[in-house]
């Protein structure tokens, strides 16, 4: 197994573990690790993280679906405006400085850490 493949495997495992432990989406783990550990450019890290989230969320939703806990109509009601939002967000990201994602994530992670410790 190449070093790069091993790192990707570790990132996937970490994303799954942190989402199981803290209920945070994998993205908060995947994006920083792709940037800091695999030398991804910021935008590439976000696009690749979203692809990973499709798989992670689909597997988890499938597992929850077996217990009848998924409400597809509710998912559509919140998901439809969110699809509009993600189209706008990805388009806007292309106009922002290249290192915007790193800066935004630095703030987001500090807030998340504070919430975690105070909770």
Between residue 18 and residue 47, which ones bind other proteins under the rule CB under 8 A? Answer: 18-28, 30-32, 34-36, 38-41, 43-47
Closest separation in Å from C-beta 87 to other proteins:
6
Q: Which tokens belong to 9?
A: 């495997």
Closest separation in Å from C-beta 63 to other proteins:
9
Contact 25, 98 (CB under 8 A): no
3: contact with other proteins by CB under 8 A:
no
Question: If you count DSSP H runs as helices and E runs as strands, how many of each does the chain have, helices first?
Answer: 5, 0
Closest separation in Å from C-beta 50 to other proteins:
4
91: contact with other proteins by CB under 8 A:
yes
70: contact with other proteins by CB under 8 A:
yes
- Cβ-count burial of 108 within 10 angstroms (0-12 exposed, 13-18 middle, 19+ buried)? middle
């Amino acid at each position: 197994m190449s070093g790069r493949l091993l790192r990707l495997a570790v990132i996937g495992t970490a994303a799954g573990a942190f989402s199981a432990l803290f209920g945070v989406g994998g993205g908060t783990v995947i994006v920083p690790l792709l940037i800091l550990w695999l030398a991804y450019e910021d935008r590439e890290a976000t696009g690749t993280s979203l692809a990973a989230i499709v798989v992670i969320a689909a597997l988890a939703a499938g597992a929850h679906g077996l217990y009848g806990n998924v409400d597809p109509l509710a998912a559509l009601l919140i998901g439809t405006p969110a699809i509009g939002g993600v189209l706008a967000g990805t388009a806007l990201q292309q106009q922002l400085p290249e290192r915007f994602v790193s800066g935004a994530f630095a703030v987001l992670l500090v807030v998340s850490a504070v919430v975690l410790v105070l909770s």
